Amino acid sequence: MDWTTTPAAPLTVNGVALEYACYGPPPSEAATLVLLHEGLGCVALWRDFPARLADATGLGVFVYSRQGYGASDPIALPRPLDFMTREAVDVLPGLLDAIGLRRGILFGHSDGATIAAIYGGSVEDMRIRGLILMAPHFFTEEDGLAEIAKARTAYQTGDLKPRLARYHTDVDGAFLGWADTWLNPGFKDWNAADAIDHLRIPVLAIQGRQDQYGTLAQVHEIDERAYSPVELAILEDCQHAPQFEQPERTLDVVSEFVTRLERIEAAQVQIA
């Protein structure tokens, strides 16, 4: 694959073309942070955060647009209600193989954080040394669903659709695949928290105290249920996007977590 910020061709996983970009050293030279975007995200909507993350940590950073987002192949609607589990179990293993991952940390935001947690709790992969879960979701909450309903109204009657269309080739697939799934009556009882019980790697959970899509109960669920070490970073004056609303603090807590993991890794290698 082309480990650059502007690869010449998409990455193909399970016959699906996925948009991607890479920053910092490749997997053959350093551990890799694999970024999993939010429910309306894509490569471009991470903005300059991946580059800043590579600079701050010294690790490689791989970011991609899931199917149905950005310039990746479109997806058929409606999405299945277990779409996050399918991404974790059916797509992510092949993607990590395709990029030549040797040692890494999954770093997910919102839906991407849930996917990372499901992978960590469902797939036995010794290459994954830790999880960074930023504004994760493990169950639905009324206030969060109300915010998604507001977003759907803005998409249908306001300027949200043309703004998103600058980033997503199939904007209806991206937005409706997210909003209509979350607002499906059958999704109200969705719960992915069982994945937490099976985590055996260190976890950093980050959430804005004023997150409009989820309360602190989401990250407290990790702290209460995980058997592995968990660090919580609750950011003040911050809503659902810590990487943009509190970028310096977010980079600091991520860098500190990564440094500790790398120190442990180095000690284990020396002992071996």
Q: Of 127, 107, 135, 113, nearest to 195 (Cα)?
A: 113
Q: What does pLDDT average to over the chain?
A: 96
Condensed to tens digits (0 to 9), the pLDDT of residues 158-185 reads 999 999 999 999 999 999 999 999 999 9
Select the CATH number that applies to the domain covering 11-271 from these four: 3.40.50.300, 3.40.50.1820, 3.30.499.10, 3.20.20.480. Answer: 3.40.50.1820
Q: In this predicted structure, what is the pLDDT of residue 1?
A: 83
Quote the pLDDT of residue 26: 98
* 21 bridge partner residues: 63
Taking the model in full, what pTM does it have?
Answer: 0.97
Buried-state track 116-149, b at ≥16 Cβ within 10 A, e below 16 = bbbbbbbeebeebbbbbbbbbbbebeeebeebbe
Are residues 123 and 93 in contact, defined by beta-carbon separation less than 8 angstroms? yes
Output the pLDDT for position 86.
Answer: 97
Which of 29-43, 78-92, 258-272 has the least mean pLDDT? 258-272
The domain segmentation of the chain, as residue ranges, is 11-271
Q: Which of 62, 74, 55 is nearest to 34 (CA)?
A: 62
Residue 269 binned pLDDT confidence (cut-offs 50, 70, 90): low
Two tokens, residue 35: 């970024």
Residue 16, CA distances (Å) to 10, 57, 75, 266 in order: 9, 31, 10, 36
